[in-house]
A and B are shown apart, each in its own frame.
Chain A
Amino acid sequence: MILHHIQTSPNNDSALKLCLRYARKEDTILLAGNGVTALLQRQWAMALSPFKLMLLQQDVQARGLGELLKDFTQIDYADFVDLSLSHTKVISW
């Protein structure tokens, strides 16, 4: 059970593409930084939908996306620390 940590937009970097290629059903995907913008695009939102998905709340709110992304689970850094321990490892793509 891996925590996949995505920090970049899929329009700039292949991190999300690769994470989705190798992630397993039981894994969790954490979108941080510009990674949160993936959810604005239908094809990435669809591709992410089978996975347990988390967003860093501060990164969402900082970008003015709080309302647009309100249906997704948003966490703080304390939760991130907990998730990193409740998963077997963190892969920062």
Chain B
Amino acid sequence: MKKLCIVFRRAPHGTAHGREGLDLALLSASFEQEVSLIFMDEGVLNLLKQQQPELIGAKDYIATFKALPLYDVETVLVCKQSLAELGLSAGLLSIPVTVFNHEQIAGHLAQADEVLVF
């Protein structure tokens, strides 16, 4: 068992990074790894409510973020500074998250066994 941290740093739908990052996160969790997620920079936009990706022919992987607790993924971190840069607050997000400042995120990155960025 390893502590795998999956980082989402890009906006959804314009590229497949978010969807393929989530696929890896869920698969890792189902393989009994200790998975945590960090949303930073435009990656925080993955968590906005009321997305309709099917309007642009994209897969609605966003709904799947709600399934994270079923996979025992309990650590979902959002970068405070990234929210502020985009004029967002945690209340606008579709799932419960923990907001961390950059030092707290650095601490989390330091304790993970491996970090994969999408």
Contact = CB atoms under 8 A, between A and B. Distances in A.
Direct contact of A and B (CB under 8 A): yes
B106 A18 contact: no
Given A22-B105, A23-B106, A24-B106, A14 B113 contact: no
Contacts of B42: 14
B113 A89 contact: yes
A39 B40 CA distance: 24
Interface in B36-83: 40-42, 81
Given A2-B109, A2-B110, A14-B9, A91 B115 contact: yes
B81 A91 contact: no
Contact of B9 (A2, A18, A23): A18
A51 to B, nearest CB: 13
B112 to A, nearest CB: 7
Interface residues of A, number: 13
B32 interface: no
A89 B105 contact: no
A91 B109 contact: yes
Given A14-B9, A18-B40, A24-B110, A92 B105 contact: no
- Secondary structure at the A interface, as helix, strand, loop or mixed, is mixed
B117 interface: yes
A71 to B, nearest CB: 28
B100 to A, nearest CB: 10
A91 B41 contact: no
B102 A21 contact: yes
A22 B106 contact: yes
Interface string B94-118: 0000000010011001101111010
A17 B81 CA distance: 12
Interface in A42-93: 88-89, 91-93
Contacts of A23: 106
Nearest to A88: B110
A88 B67 CA distance: 31
5 A-B pairs with the lowest CB-CB distances in the bound complex, closest first: A22-B106, A91-B115, A21-B102, A14-B41, A22-B105
